[in-house]
Structure 1
Amino acid sequence: MRKWSFLVVAAALISLARPALADDDVDRVRKVLREHPEIVLEAIRQQGPAVLEVIETTARSRQKELERARFAQALAKPMNPVLEPGRASLGPQGAPVTIVEYSDFLCHFCGQASGTVKTLIQNHPQDTRLVFKHFATGKNSVRAAIYFEAITLQDPKKAWAFMDSVFARQKDVSEKGDEILEAIAKDIGVDAKRLAEDLKRKELADRVVADTKEARDFGFEGTPVFLVNGAPVRGAVPIDILEEFVGVAAKAGPPAKSQ
């Protein structure tokens, strides 16, 4: 058994026995377990499910502690994404917490995370702001991102509706590209003539490229990624975790402004 595995199991056994032990006995139990590791193996054979449950709970708790520590360190040295005017966003511009989301329209986990972060914004309408950016790596992902930016020029509310529809039809968009993107735009009432013209605007394609480069320059490799006041949170994390990080960021105050 690896040393770390033994220590975790030993800690689990102590946790199971702790209510029946006096404080003075705990050190003696630890000493016995170190000297006689076969006791651990016997305990696993006899109380395997209970031991494993404690191990899993301890591991999850430790992981959360590490994530909290990393987040606090990142807040002290925040990343500074470019937030030019005209970006699609939700929430007040002066909110104490800004969440910058890097997303890929054809990423399954991005679809999950989109609903989570929008729920968080709804729960904290005065305290949080979401700014949407792209980390588009495939042809149809890039096309969907350009459509989103073009529709934002017309009506930001329709752009968010477009996002929801694309996430709901990822397979179709992945296989058929513009055919499905055009159909979605039509369904949500976008001005087709203006959309066709805006899709040709070089600055929109350049924005998608710049967003993706920025994400890579920050060292991100997968999607989604959120910057909560400049501190990265990777993956489609549960809303309670995101809520906790937002609370920590709000107490820490706004990050330094990008130059």
Structure 2
Amino acid sequence: MKRLLLILSVVIMVSGCANKQMLKEQIAEAIRENPQIVLDAMRENSLDLLEIVEHGFDKRAKLKRKAMLEEEIKNPFQPRIWSERPMLGNPDAQVTIVEYSDFLCPYCSKGAVVVTKLAREHPEKYRLIFKHLPMHKKSRQLAVVFEAIAQFDKEKAYMFHDLAFSRQKKLYEDKSGIELVKILKEIKVDPAKLQKIINSEKLNEYLLADEQEANKFKIDATPTFLINGVAVRGYLPADKFDQMVEMILEKTKEQLPVETPEGEICEDCLNQM
């Protein structure tokens, strides 16, 4: 039967339109009567079939990312910029990066290095706003510490930011809190002063607002960056991130079709440490 179907398929390719339609119907009827033929063929070519399916998924995902990016370039997100919260770079910079991050996400750590370097080395071009999307209780605690330090010293808040990301594995594994104490001591934060602020309702308001905003923008993975309101989902190396910025700036002016690099997003952060 399989040989017959093969012959029929070849005949279809060389036949006229009427014959092709008739033979297609005959093949369809043969498959309906003998569905095992298809199952046997799928088993015999399972790896090829899997490759075809994966290629289809990848292509559909790429088209979806491209469509989302084009829509966001036309209608960029409008995140809230809090004047009282810490920021790197120039408030009047050409490029505003809003970063939704998790202190215990490995890709967030890599992404933070890229965007903080841009803001520190090119403050005339970039301003960076750090927001929180903590996926775990412990990373939420670190987010509160960051915001608490920023209440009295924004520079030290970013010092904490850098050290927390560089030592995230130790912070996660430390059950006693010693590593956090070491970091606070290293950046010369007064524990008593911090303790007075740490339970402030204002800090919870900041975190809740960040999470609600991310949800509103359908941001559900870390890291995610808004570049002038256009979302870049996942970590990109410095060169690709810079290319993405330039592309967004160009396409925002010209409204041309876009190509989207795929970033690395943390879906199960703690198991990747």
Q: TM-score band, normalised by the shorter chain? A: 0.5 to 0.7
What is the CA-CA distance between 1:169 and the residue it aligns to? 1.7
1:230-249 map, 5 Å = 230-249=229-248
Structure 2 gaps of 5+ residues are 1-57, 254-273
What does 1:1-259 correspond to in 2, within 5 Å? 70-175=68-173, 176=175, 178-251=177-250, 252=252
1:232 shift after superposition: 0.3
Shift of residue 185 of structure 1? 1.1
The question of whether the paired residues in 2 share the 8 Å contact of 1:96 and 1:250 is answered with no
Residue identity opposite 2:247 in structure 1: V
Q: Percent identity?
A: 37
Cα deviation digits, residues 82-138 of structure 1 (max 9, x gap): 112212211111112100000000001100001011222234320111100000121
Moved more, 177-186 or 160-169: 177-186
Secondary structure in structure 2 of the residue aligned to 1:154: coil
CA distance in 1, matches of 2:154, 2:224: 22
Unaligned runs of 5+ in 1: 1-58, 254-259
CA–CA distance in 1 between the matches of 2:231 and 2:176? 31
- CA drift of 1:218 comes to 1.4
**Residues 139, 247 of structure 1: CA spacing in aligned structure 2 closer, same or farther, 3 A cutoff?**
same
Inter-partner Cα distance in structure 1 for 2:67 and 2:208: 32
CA distance in 2, matches of 1:215, 1:237: 19
Q: Secondary structure at the match of 1:142?
A: helix
Task: Quote the RMSD (CA, aligned, Å).
Answer: 2.5
Structure 1 stretch 82-91 or stretch 108-117: which is displaced more? Answer: 82-91
The amino acid that maps onto 2:172 is: S
Aligned residues: 194
Partner residue in 2 for 1:36 = none
Contact 2:88/2:120 (<8 A) preserved: no
What are the Cα deviations for residues 160-208 of structure 1, in whole angstroms up to 9, with x where unaligned?
1111111122122223274432331111111221111110211102211
1:46-74, Cα deviation, whole Å (9 max, x unpaired): xxxxxxxxxxxxx99xx6x9867753431
* d(CA) in 1 for partners of 2:178, 2:203: 20
Residue 103 of structure 2 contacts residue 109 of structure 2 at CA under 8 Å; is this kept in 1?
Answer: yes
Letter in 2 for 1:185: L
Q: Taking structure 1 as the reference length, what is the TM-score of the superposition?
A: 0.68
